[in-house]
Amino acid sequence: MSIRPQTITERILARAAGRTEVTPGELVTVRLDLVMANDITGPLAIAEFEKIGAPGVFDRERVVLVQSHFVPAKDIKSAEQSRELRHFARRQQLVNYFEVGEGIEHAILPERGLVLPGMVVIGADSHTCTYGGVGAFATGVGSTDLAAAMATGETWLRIPESVRFVFHGRLRPWVSAKDLILFIIGQIGVDGALYQAMEFAGQAIGSLSVNARLTLCNMAIEAGAKCGVVAPDEVTLRYLEQRNRWPYSVTTGDADAVYQRVWEWDASDIEPQVAFPHLPSNTRPLSQVGEVRLDQVVIGSCTNGRIEDLRQAAVILRNRKVHPGVRTIVIPASRSVYLQAMREGLLEIFAAAGASVSPPTCGPCLGGYMGILAAGERCLATTNRNFVGRMGHPQSEVYLAGPAVAAASAILGRIAAPEEVGAQWVA
C-alpha cells in the first residue's frame, strides 16, 4: 500500500495521531507535547478545568503557565487574574510556571528549549503559531479546549491543507522577517490562508536566524492560518544546542508533498513594509508610504522584542535623539533579552536617545497598558496587529513595521527609512 507524500505539518500530526499518514480535511485526535496559557486566558481555562473535576494536569512538566499580558499588575482585576494563575501553578506543582518579569510566552518557551522540532503544541493565545519557527506544529485554541487538554494531554483538530511560500535570493539591507510576513499578508489578505498551514522556504528563509523565523511564524495567524512552520535545518539545530529540555527528532516533509498552492518571490525585490490601519494586510512598501506623522513608537512584543530586534533599533538610535513629539517605548520580550541588552549597552543607548525602557511584558500591544493611545493619535509599532482600538481609543491609528523602520521613525517623528537618518547597515 502506497503512502501519500506528507508535508512537514502532516507528518508531525500523523505521528501525534499514531498514524503513518494523514490527509487534509480529516478529523483526528492527537497527543500533545506541550500545553500553554497566560494570565488572561489561564484563569478561564482553570475555571473550566475545575468544572471537569480532573484530579490533576496530565503532566506537570508539559503544562506551562506564563504571567505576561497585564503584568506587573496594572489594576485590581489584573492582580486577581495573576493571583489565580499563581495559585493554580502552586496547587498543581507545575515545573514550568513563569512569574511576573520573565516575559512573554512566545519568547520564553523557545529560549528555554520547551518547544522543539516535531512537537505538537497548543496554547490559549492566537500567536502560539510562533513556535513553528523551530519546526513544531503550534496553534492557538480557546480556553475551554485548553482546559480539556490540561486534563487529558490530547485534543482534536482537522488536518489543514498546506500552502508553501518560497523566497529566492537574498534580502535587501534593513529588510527583515517582519517585512516578509507583512508582504505575504499584503498579497494574500487576512483570510488568504484560512485554516491552512503556512510553510516558509527558500534561500532567503534559510538565511534567517531562528529568532527571525519565530517572527515570521508569529504572524501566520494574521493571514488566518492554522499554523506557520519552517522546516528545521542546521540553523535550528545550532539554536537548540544546550537549550532543548527533552529529546527530539527532526521532522521534515517529503520532496513530492502536495500543497494547495505554492507562492514564489525574489526576496531582493522586497523593500521594508508598513501596514496601515486597520489591518495587517493593508501594506505598502516603504517608498510608497508618504508623509505619516506619529505620536508614539513601540519597539518590542512577541513579534519583535528579541535581542536581534533591539540590536537593530540600537544601531539606528545610537548617538541620536528621538523626536520631541514622539513617545518612544522599548519593551524587551523576556528577562534574558533584557539582561543581554543591558550587558551590550543597548538599554543605555535607548535611554540616552530619550526612549522609555519597560520591563518584559506584552504592555500596549493588546491595549493593556504602558502606551495606550488617545483619540486621534498615531503609533508605529513592531507588534503584530493594528485592528481598530487594538492599542487604545477606537479613533487612534496603529501602523506596523520592523524595528529598523520603527527606530528611524522615532527619530524623525514620521514613518521613515533608516537611510534618512544616516544609519549604516550592519549585516
At 200, is the secondary structure helix, strand, or coil? strand
User: What is the reported pLDDT for 244?
Assistant: 85
Q: How far apart are CA 319 and CA 131, in angstroms?
A: 35
- Mean pLDDT, rounded, for 27-41: 96
Q: Summarize pLDDT for 119-178 with one digit per residue, the tens.
A: 999 999 999 999 999 999 999 999 999 999 999 999 999 999 999 999 999 999 999 999
State which H helix or E strand residue 327 sits in: strand 327-331
Q: How far apart are CA 211 and CA 209, in angstroms?
A: 5
Flag whether pLDDT at 179 surpasses 70: yes
User: What is the reported pLDDT for 427?
Assistant: 65
Among 244-248, 298-302, 360-364, the range with the most confident prediction by mean pLDDT is 298-302
Contact predicate 387/374, CB 8 Å: no
- Mean pLDDT, rounded, for 61-65: 97
Residues with Cβ within 8 Å of 98's Cβ and at least 6 positions away in sequence, in order, are 64, 65, 66, 67, 68, 105, 108
CB-neighbour burial class of residue 63 (10 A; exposed 0-12, middle 13-18, buried 19+): buried
- Mean pLDDT, rounded, for 80-102: 95
Average pLDDT of the chain is 95
Q: Summarize pLDDT for 256-289 with one digit per residue, the tens.
A: 999 999 999 999 999 999 999 999 999 999 999 9
Q: How far apart are CA 198 and CA 184, in angstroms?
A: 10
User: What is the reported pLDDT for 423?
Assistant: 77
**Cα dihedral: 383, 386, 387, 388 (round 10):** 120
Q: How far apart are CA 309 and CA 12, in angstroms?
A: 30
Q: Which band of pLDDT confidence, cut at 50, 70 and 90, is reported for residue 356?
A: very high
User: What is the reported pLDDT for 189?
Assistant: 95
Domains in the chain with CATH codes: 8-265 (3.30.499.10), 274-421 (3.30.499.10)
User: What is the reported pLDDT for 1?
Assistant: 44
At 53, is the secondary structure helix, strand, or coil? coil
Percent of the chain, pLDDT > 70? 99
Q: How far apart are CA 153 and CA 170, in angstroms?
A: 42
b (16+ CB within 10 A) / e for 75-91:
eeebeebbebbbebbee
Range of lowest pLDDT (161-170, 189-198, 383-392): 383-392
- Mean pLDDT, rounded, for 232-246: 92
